[in-house]
Structure 1
Amino acid sequence: MNTRSMIFTLYGDYIRHYGSEIWIGSLIRLLKEFGHNEQAVRAAISRMSKQGWIQSTKRGNKSYYVLTEQGSNRIEEAAKRIFKLNQPSWDGKWRILMYSIPEEIRQVRDELRQELVWSGFGSLSNSSWISPNPLEKQVYDMISKYDIKSYVNFFIADYDGPNEKKHLVESCWDLQEINERYGEFISKYSQKYIIDKNKIEKGEMTDGQCFVERTILVHEYRKFLFVDPGLPQELLPDKWLGDSAASLFSQYYKEIAEPAGRFFEEIFKEGNEINKRDGDHDFLTHPLIID
């Protein structure tokens, strides 16, 4: 598992509930549970800082890393999509973003495409992207972030054929492949859920093991944010497995959330106590909130 990606998972599932800030020593200790060494953690943190997701602060000779506004917005958006309960009803409208970004800033174009995919847009053509979801804020945030106002046009429109909406959806997203991936998730984690549930009931699973399993569960489920556009129910095929996967995720998560949270809090507070002994008396903890 990629170190940088695991750090994003930890910020999203744990650290954001503690003021979005953590001592680097605690982060290194937590990631050691997954086989990541100190050098890999520091390299990943440095990269995330350069990309604007986090920023460092110093107290004494200790380094802390807190989410930036950009990082916090991304984490909160991801959390809402991961822990969503119900898909809102569709207003029948399509959001269409069209751009013509010059070759000399193609890096911006490439990054914009990645952002669009992550937000749930589908590519209708090389420079035309659509979504049935109300993503106006995300679109204008991207336009501002990349300073591309002069190169884009954004529409909210109806689809008037000549084909059915199903044909439009199939042109932009491979729902069969996504459904197969959901099936694989269900097959794997339905068995793990039963096994771990029995272990917890018998007291055969430590808090540390629950922390590892909860983090991996969220980490794996979070990958669907990059492939599933979150289409309204009206546009989904019959026998869609996304809802069943979401239900399984929620049940499994709730089963291991409390002991996993205890383990995280123990490491988090150990770092706090170490730093207090070293003279960092202004570092505050925050209560854990489990979605």
Structure 2
Amino acid sequence: MKRLPGKNVSTLTLEGVVRKRARRGALEKVLLGTLVTGGLLTVAMAAPKVLSLVKNEHLDMILPSDPRQRLHETASRLKRKGLVEFRYENGRKRMCITDKGKDFLEAELSRIKSIVKPKRWDRRWRIVIFDIPEKRKAQRDHIRYLVRHLGFLRLQHSVWVYPYDCEEVIALLKSNLCIGTNLLYLIADAVEYDRPLRKHFGLPLD
């Protein structure tokens, strides 16, 4: 293998490149989602919320020492794609999501509404827990609709269970809706009294 100047070949794996691109795309979705909920914002105004969500979604490893630089780059990339536009208000440049950007997020949400089921269950449970305040009731109801649509079964209030891997789908949902730690994804090797759950999902009862 030819060694590239200034690079350690061991770090130049295809998987690494794919992961970096995936995180970059997720960062774009987080910023778009922030604009949907926050309206007309400067990068500086959007930064605290975006960076908090980035940390929660483990995307911070793609950010440089000055994360706002990455956010400026992300905003510029979104503008080139036509997903955001810049406007001047009171002498300050602000960005807002375009109709194309809203359509893009809506398409992403539609894409996550299906999970590929493996041929064999790995006997582990995926649990989603969310705690959305009453003042965001509409968002809470929307999340409830989405997890039900994905096939989750309600275990307790705001606690939903599913037998198959859906971590990527839930991460995408979290970034698109900008809910961060308000929604947690857990993997459990066992759930007490899970026989009714197994019956519901058509899983082996032994």
Fold shared per TM-score above 0.5: no
* Bigger Rg over Cα: 1
TM-score (structure 1 length as normaliser): 0.32
Give the structure with the higher percent helix. Answer: 1
